[in-house]
Amino acid sequence: MSKILLAALFGAIICVAWGAISWMGLEWHSGTLNRFADEAAVGEIIKADAGAVLEHNGQTSGMFMLPLGTVVGERAPSEESKARNRAALQAHADGPYFYGIIRPGPKPMNMIVNLSLAFARSFAACFIIALLLSWTMRLDYVQRIFFCAIAGLFAGLVSDVPLLIWFEAPLHHTLINLADHLCEWFLAGLVIAALVPGREIWERIR
């Protein structure tokens, strides 16, 4: 267990460092983002509309979708709800369409808190990968690195690709996120694989 914890610690440091390089050093993420033609005007609309909704719900930020008019979960949908669903589907097809996070009010960024949370997230993720790696058998160092890198690819497939399928995330945005996960867990795998050998000892016992 001590090796797993040590691997999680050093792996988390690498993950946080890579995150800083990926998001602040490289330009591949920012290159997938678009700027509104009139940010000030759009911002005022968001504050007035989304701000009122979030205030009513007691939230400072929240997820929004446009259009959002479908009714789900009804055992016997009424004619009114069926009509609203049809209208929402048509509006979705016609556009505009939006899915994202909105925070209409101020919130100063606390880099120390964010980095602490990022490290905690990375430590938990590295601990899980190290634990899974400790249960493997007959894997050499290179194969253990490959194991960690594939885990990063898996993370992208279950988190980013659904956004491409269901919420119209651009393909290049999805591919860059997949590459980001792959790079992160390849780099973390270099140290995790070095510290967590797997269960080769079982072969000697047998």
Query: Quick one: tokens of 189?
Result: 């795998």
- Global pTM exceeds 0.85: no
Q: Could you tell me which of 172, 135, 129, 133 has the C-alpha nearest to residue 154?
A: 129
Q: pLDDT at position 92, please? A: 85
Provide the mean pLDDT of the chain.
89
In tens, the pLDDT along 68-81 reads: 866 555 555 677 77
- Maximum CA extent, the chain: 71
Q: pLDDT at position 141, please? A: 92
Say whether pLDDT at 203 is over 80: no
Q: pLDDT at position 20, please? A: 93
CA distance 180 to 173: 11
Q: pLDDT at position 57, please? A: 93
Q: pLDDT at position 166, please? A: 92
Burial of residue 99 (number of CB atoms within 10 Å: 0-12, 13-18, 19+): middle
Q: pLDDT at position 80, please? A: 78
Q: pLDDT at position 113, please? A: 95
Amino acid at the residue 169: A
In tens, the pLDDT along 136-167 reads: 888 899 999 999 999 999 999 999 999 999 99
